[in-house]
């Protein structure tokens, strides 16, 4: 058996995990996702919203000589941001992966370049179904949450992939795998507030996932069937990930970032954004992976919920 490539060992020494597959599997990645769509299991609304580039990927025209796909997992904490409202401070979480996308990609590329030196390979960021790639490359396993888990990181990690002309001596392609406990555990299913995780299918009903609903622009509101008690983060949702036994070690992996004064919170709740003021707060929100598009809706619903709880 071929030994682990040096670049993987190097990234591991820097606290990351990596894997590599031959570029010949690219078509298979797309056809696997598209076959779910053909069976009607993958909602059209998701396909249209997030664009076909992730689901049916093609090699970029500018890089016909790519030989491999490198996939890297970087641990990421959830963020805790403070909002001051009517004399009280409220802490709300931003789940991992909403923020620092550019920073993580830049750092990953830099580490890969260092690992390959003195050789120099091209690294072109790849838009792909990243979870499927991570699992089929042996880097991760699927949970019934439909999120991927990496040993030591749980599901609190960010995936990044690159096409490369690095001709890997090993190809880690394999069948997909679920976490061993998923066959008898129901923790994520029991806590999912929208029944997006269902007992008779592995693939979630992504169109019901709270994340899909609260990533939409604020003016879209929330559907009538959604229980207001479902909301738990300022974007996305952490219910299934926090309930999962494979995330026990990362449950408190939280970084404090972002503090919004009474004035700023009031502005975010006003829903009227323009000019320099909007630009300034947009920059501040950007540091925690948010933008003005989901305000005031997501903040308002959390503050209403917290105020009701405090009043009880
Ligand atoms: C579209 C999208 C969404 C959509 C749809 C999600 C979905 N499940 O499809 C919405 C908006 C709902 C969403 C939500 C979230 N997302 Co999202 N999303 C994406 C995106 C752009 C594409 C995902 C995709 O390929 N979907 C297509 C479906 C069909 O693929 P799939 O879920 O992998 O389906 C597989 C499994 O169901 C499995 N399967 C099916 N049956 C069986 C049976 C067995 C036995 C086994 C083992 C497997 C298995 O096989 C399927 C593929 O063949 C990626 C970014 C990217 N470039 O990949 C991020 C991405 C997947 N999201 C991510 C995250 C973090 C989230 C959220 C956790 C955000 C949050 N709340 O904090 C939630 C999680 C929701 C959930 N429970 O899945 C991360 C995942 C990181 C990780 N640790 O795995 C990604 C990779 C973004 C990133 N760069 O970090 N997301
Ligand atoms: S909570 Fe249980 S069923 Fe859900 S992903 Fe984790 S181990 Fe699997
Ligand atoms: S992110 Fe929330 S709504 Fe989506 S599947 Fe997990 S628990 Fe359900």
Q: Is the dihedral of CA 64, 58, 7, 169 positive or negative?
A: negative
The rounded mean pLDDT for the chain is 96
8 A C-beta contact, residue 37 and residue 137: no
**What number is the average pLDDT over the span 238-242?**
98
Q: Give 117 Cα–ligand 2 centroid separation in angstroms.
A: 40
Say if residue 310's pLDDT is above 90.
no
Can you give the pTM of this predicted structure? 0.97
pLDDT of amino acid 309: 78
pLDDT in tens, 191-228: 999 999 999 999 999 999 999 999 999 999 999 999 99
* Crossing angle between the packed helical segments 6-13 and 101-116, to the nearest 10 degrees: 130
Does residue 132 have its Cβ closer than 6 Å to ligand 1?
A: yes
pLDDT in tens, 155-200: 999 999 999 999 999 999 999 999 999 999 999 999 999 999 999 9
With a pLDDT cut of 70, the percent of the chain lying above it is 99
Does residue 202 have its Cβ closer than 6 Å to ligand 1?
A: yes
What's the distance, CA 54 to chain centroid? 13
pLDDT of amino acid 276: 97
pLDDT of amino acid 294: 98
Query: Which residue's CA is the nearest one to ligand 3's atom 6?
Result: 240
Burial of 255 (0-12, 13-18, 19+ CB in 10 A): middle
Which tokens hold the place of 109? 């590329």
Question: Confidence class of residue 150 from pLDDT cuts 50, 70 and 90?
Answer: very high
Question: Confidence class of residue 42 from pLDDT cuts 50, 70 and 90?
Answer: confident
Given the DSSP bridges, would you call strands 17-22 and 68-75 parallel, antiparallel or unpaired? antiparallel
**Probe target for ligand 1 pocket from 154, 211, 240, with the most ligand atoms within 8 Å of CB:** 211
Which tokens hold the place of 123? 């690294």
Question: Confidence class of residue 2 from pLDDT cuts 50, 70 and 90?
Answer: confident
Say if residue 1's pLDDT is above 70.
no
Which tokens hold the place of 151? 């040993």
pLDDT of amino acid 43: 87
User: Helix (H, G, I), strand (E, B), or coil: what is residue 246?
Assistant: helix
Query: Which residue's CA is the nearest one to ligand 3's atom 2?
Result: 237
**What number is the average pLDDT over the span 77-99?**
97
Question: Confidence class of residue 308 from pLDDT cuts 50, 70 and 90?
Answer: confident
Does residue 214 have its Cβ closer than 6 Å to ligand 1?
A: no
With a pLDDT cut of 90, the percent of the chain lying above it is 91
* Crossing angle between the packed helical segments 262-270 and 275-286, to the nearest 10 degrees: 110
């Amino acid at each position: 058996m071929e030994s682990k490539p040096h670049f993987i060992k190097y990234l591991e020494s820097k606290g990351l995990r990596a894997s590599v597959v031959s570029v010949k599997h690219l078509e298979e990645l797309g056809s696997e996702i598209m076959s779910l769509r053909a069976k009607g299991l993958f909602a059209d609304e998701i396909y249209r919203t997030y664009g076909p580039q992730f689901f049916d990927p093609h090699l970029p025209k500018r890089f016909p000589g790519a030989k491999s796909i490198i996939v890297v997992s970087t641990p990421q904490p959830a963020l805790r941001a403070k909002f001051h409202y009517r004399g009280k401070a409220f802490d709300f979480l931003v789940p991992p992966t909403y923020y620092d996308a550019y920073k993580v990609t830049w750092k990953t590329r830099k580490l890969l370049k260092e690992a390959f030196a003195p050789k120099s390979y091209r690294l072109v960021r790849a838009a792909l179904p990243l979870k499927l790639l991570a699992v089929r490359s042996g880097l991760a396993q699927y949970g019934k949450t439909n999120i991927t888990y990496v040993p030591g990181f749980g599901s609190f990690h960010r995936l990044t992939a690159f096409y490369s002309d690095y001709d890997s001596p090993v190809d880690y392609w394999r069948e997909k795998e679920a976490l061993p406990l998923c066959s008898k555990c129901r923790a994520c299913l029991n806590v999912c507030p929208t029944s997006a995780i269902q007992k008779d299918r592995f693939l979630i009903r992504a169109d019901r996932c709270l994340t899909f609903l609260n990533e939409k622009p604020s003016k879209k509101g929330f559907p009538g069937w959604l229980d207001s008690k479902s909301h738990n983060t300022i974007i996305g949702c952490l219910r299934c990930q926090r309930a999962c036994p494979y995330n026990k070690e990362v449950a408190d992996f939280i970084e404090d970032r972002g503090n919004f004064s009474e004035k700023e919170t009031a502005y975010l709740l006003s829903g009227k954004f323009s000019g320099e003021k909007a630009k300034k707060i947009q920059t501040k929100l950007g540091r925690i992976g948010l933008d003005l598009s989901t305000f005031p809706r997501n903040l308002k619903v959390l503050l209403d919920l917290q105020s009701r709880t405090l009043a009880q």
